[in-house]
Chain A
Amino acid sequence: MRRVVVTGIGATTPLGGDALSSWQALLDGKSGIASLTDDWIEKYEIPVTFAGKAKVAALEVLTPQEAKRLDPSSQFALISAREAWKDAGEPEVAPERLAVDFATGIGGVWTLLDAFDTLKERGPRRVLPMTVPMLMPNGPAAAIGMDLGARAGVRTAVSACASGNESIANGFRRIQLGEADVVVAGGAEAAIHPLPIAAFAAMHALSKRNDEPARASRPYDVDRDGFVMGEGAGALVLEEYESAKARGAKIYCEIVGGAVTSDAYHITAPDPEGSGAARAVLAALEMAGATPSDVEHVNAHATSTPVGDIAEYTALKRVFGDHTDSLVVTATKSATGHLLGGAGAVEAIFTLLALKEQMSPGTINLDNQDPEIPLNVPAKPTPLSRHDAIAISNSFGFGGHNAVLAFRNV
Chain B
Amino acid sequence: MALSSQDVLAGLAELVNDETGIAADAVQMEKSFTDDLDIDSISMMTIVVNAEDKFGVKIPDEKVKDLITVADAVNFITENQA
Contacts and interface: CB of A to CB of B under 8 A. Distances in A.
Contacts of B20: 65
A130 interface: yes
Interface stretch (A121-129, A309-317, A322-330, A340-348): A121-129
Contact residues on B (Cβ < 8 Å of other chain), bracket: under 10
Given A125-B49, A126-B49, A65 B19 contact: yes
B42 A64 contact: no
A128 B42 CA distance: 9
B19 A130 contact: no
B12 to A, nearest CB: 17
Interface string B38-49: 000110011001
A65 B47 CA distance: 13
Nearest to B22: A65
B45 A63 contact: no
A386 interface: no
Contacts of A63: 21
A128 B43 CA distance: 10
A130 B46 contact: yes
Nearest to B45: A129
Contact of B42 (A65, A126, A130): A130
B21 A64 contact: yes
B10 to A, nearest CB: 20
B21 A129 contact: no
A68 B42 contact: no
Interface in B26-68: 41-42, 45-46, 49
A68 B19 contact: yes
Contacts of B18: 64
Contact of B21 (A65, A125, A130): A65
A65 B45 CA distance: 15
Most interface-central of A64, A126, A129 (chain B CB within 10 A) = A129
Most interface-central of B20, B42, B45 (chain A CB within 10 A) = B42
B49 to A, nearest CB: 6
Interface string A107-129: 00000000000000000011011
Contacts of B41: 129
Contacts of B42: 129-130
Interface string A68-82: 100000000000000
Nearest to A63: B21
Contacts of A130: 42, 46
B7 to A, nearest CB: 24
A125 B42 CA distance: 13
A128 B21 contact: no
B46 A128 contact: yes
**A-B complex: 10 closest residue pairs judged by Cβ atoms:** A65-B21, A129-B45, A129-B42, A130-B42, A129-B46, A65-B20, A63-B21, A125-B49, A126-B49, A128-B46
16 contacts: A63-B21, A64-B18, A64-B21, A65-B19, A65-B20, A65-B21, A68-B19, A125-B49, A126-B49, A128-B46, A129-B41, A129-B42, A129-B45, A129-B46, A130-B42, A130-B46
Interface of A: 63-65, 68, 125-126, 128-130
Given A128-B46, A129-B42, 14 more contacts: A63-B21, A64-B18, A64-B21, A65-B19, A65-B20, A65-B21, A68-B19, A125-B49, A126-B49, A129-B41, A129-B45, A129-B46, A130-B42, A130-B46
